[in-house]
Amino acid sequence: MQTKLLTKRFETPNSRSIETYLADGGYTGLRKALTTMQPAEVIEEVKKSSLRGRGGAGFPTGMKWGFVPVNSPKPKYVVCNADESEPGTCKDRELMEKDPHQLVEGLLIAAYALLSRQVFIYIRGEYWYLIAILEQAIAEARAQGFVGKSICGTDFDCEIVVHPGAGAYICGEETALLNSLEGYRGHPRIKPPFPAVAGLYGCPTVVNNVETFCAVPHIVVNGGDWYRGLGTEKSGGTKIFSVSGHVNRPGNYEVRMGYPLKQLIEEDCGGIRGGRKLKAVIPGGSSVPIMTAEEVEQATLDYEGMVKAGSMLGSGGVIVMDETTDIFMTTYNLIHFYNHESCGWCTPCREGTDWLLKLFKKIARGEGTTADLDTIKRLCPNIEGRSHCPLGDAAVWPITSAMKKFPEDFLKHVKPVAAPAAA
Ligand SMILES: Cc1cc2nc3c(=O)[nH]c(=O)nc-3n(C[C@H](O)[C@H](O)[C@H](O)COP(=O)(O)O)c2cc1C
Ligand code: SF4
């Protein structure tokens, strides 16, 4: 069963207007923070909440905010990562489309906590229709005194700018995003320094995902302990999962952290289409290891639970595959994506994903041998951990895990090659 917190207004008529938001208690978190809390107290509540970044890496949000130097003479920036390009993930889109004020309020509270006066929303170019929705929400909030000068009658000033990207997956990686926002090509930067210390224009910057910011008003209104109590000790709150593939009712589902993955698929999503059997799930967007049906049985939807079950929570894009799926073709599709989206900066990822794609194409044409599978197995560890940014790892995890867990789906596409005779 869903626990609707961030998604609770999705079905409300005219959910994106400020009137609807205010009637449901909207902007009380911002008012509370500005008039009754010190910035450091807001960060403390977020730390208590065990909120972890919803963009994929699951880094503790309060800890990240705590890294921003309080007394820096430079301006500080808050950047919302609305690039949402991870395959299988479409939760940020619905959050922005149906409840943009929740995001605006979360951004303003974050800016107050971090002593920032400038927020950027970096949104993927394909979401062009959401730009108008966000700009309308910002204009409505400004008219009510929530954006601009002297917010809520206090001395806190803050502006929000919406900036469209141009459709590159790599620009979702936070440092590539910052380069793109500065007007440069979207290549990832070396870390450290981390954005909290030297981010946008070399200034302290916090980058968080849309869903992460949307949780913040609820934490401020109800307290960090309350929010953590909705989930598990280390993975606080609720999380939205975008379920796609062979289920009867695909869509976005908000559940408590720690919710059983099997229950999400079978009860909330109505089970597998056509009464077929489950074969595999890629649970966190495509950049995580694939799971077998057996691994899904015991898996719980929290960061620790998913690692224990043999994968990762990632961005929460749950791709469900039934028994008719050819896992070789699934991974072929994915390596096509990663090769296309490799930014080309570093050799292991640029050349490695290209070589992998060529091998997959050869096998798909029916010309592959077991020696090609061995080459794929040797190539992957030369990309993983040796690339400039995590895209290299993301490109090979689905392949290495699929070859290990579904070897028969690969072997059926190739001809055996005899091992060289011993000398
Ligand atoms: C290749 C790549 C693509 C990414 N794409 C996104 C994205 O579309 N949206 C997002 O929020 N984070 C994305 N991330 C993660 C960001 O780098 C960063 O961790 C995140 O925005 C931090 O916010 P959070 O702590 O709230 O998760 C991506 C990371 C990589 C390596
Ligand atoms: S790993 Fe890939 S995406 Fe990342 S910097 Fe290297 S070439 Fe670019």
- Which tens digits make up the pLDDT trace of 202-259? 999 999 999 999 999 999 999 999 999 999 999 999 999 999 999 999 999 999 999 9
- Extended beta strands in 314-391, E state: 317-322
CA–CA gap between residue 177 and residue 290 (Å, rounded): 27
Tokens representing residue 317 in the block: 């894009």
| Per-residue pLDDT reduced to its tens digit, 71-129 | 989 999 999 999 999 999 999 999 999 999 999 999 999 999 999 999 999 999 999 99
Counting DSSP H helices and E strands in the chain, the numbers are 18, 11
Return mean pLDDT, the chain.
96
Decide whether any atom of ligand 2 lies within 6 Å of the 385 Cβ: no
Output the pLDDT for position 422.
Answer: 66
Identify the residue whose C-alpha is closest to ligand 2 atom 4.
Answer: 389
Going by pLDDT thresholds of 50, 70 and 90, the confidence category of residue 166 is confident
Q: Give the mean pLDDT of 174-178.
A: 97
Q: Give the mean pLDDT of 26-38.
A: 98
Cis before 192 (ω within 30): yes
In this predicted structure, the answer to whether residue 419 has a pLDDT above a threshold of 70 is no
User: How do the domains of the chain map onto residue ranges?
Assistant: 18-230, 238-322, 327-411
Output the pLDDT for position 394.
Answer: 94
Mutate to test the pocket of ligand 1, among 96, 209, 350 (most ligand atoms within 8 A of CB): 209
Identify the residue whose C-alpha is closest to ligand 1 atom 18.
Answer: 174
Decide whether any atom of ligand 2 lies within 6 Å of the 362 Cβ: no
Q: Give the mean pLDDT of 24-40.
A: 98
Decide whether any atom of ligand 2 lies within 6 Å of the 394 Cβ: no
The strand pairing partners of 251, in sequence order, are 243
CATH code that applies to domain 327-411: 1.20.1440.230
In this predicted structure, the answer to whether residue 132 has a pLDDT above a threshold of 70 is yes
In this predicted structure, the answer to whether residue 415 has a pLDDT above a threshold of 70 is yes
Identify the residue whose C-alpha is closest to ligand 1 atom 6.
Answer: 172
CATH code that applies to domain 18-230: 3.40.50.11540
Going by pLDDT thresholds of 50, 70 and 90, the confidence category of residue 167 is confident
Give the DSSP H/E element, type plus range, for residue 360.
Answer: helix 347-364
Question: How distant, in Å, are the alpha carbons of 114, 284, 287, 302, 393 from that of 312?
Answer: 30, 6, 9, 9, 13
Decide whether any atom of ligand 2 lies within 6 Å of the 389 Cβ: yes
Report how far ligand 1's centroid is from the alpha carbon of 180 (Å). Answer: 14
Mutate to test the pocket of ligand 1, among 49, 50, 86 (most ligand atoms within 8 A of CB): 86
| Per-residue pLDDT reduced to its tens digit, 308-338 | 999 999 999 999 999 999 999 999 999 999 9
Output the pLDDT for position 417.
Answer: 85
Q: Which atom of ligand 2 lies closest to the CA of 392?
A: 1
Q: Would you put residue 237 in left (φ > 0), alpha (ψ -120 to 50) or beta?
A: left
CATH architecture designation of domain 238-322: Roll (3.10)
Q: Give the mean pLDDT of 359-373.
A: 97
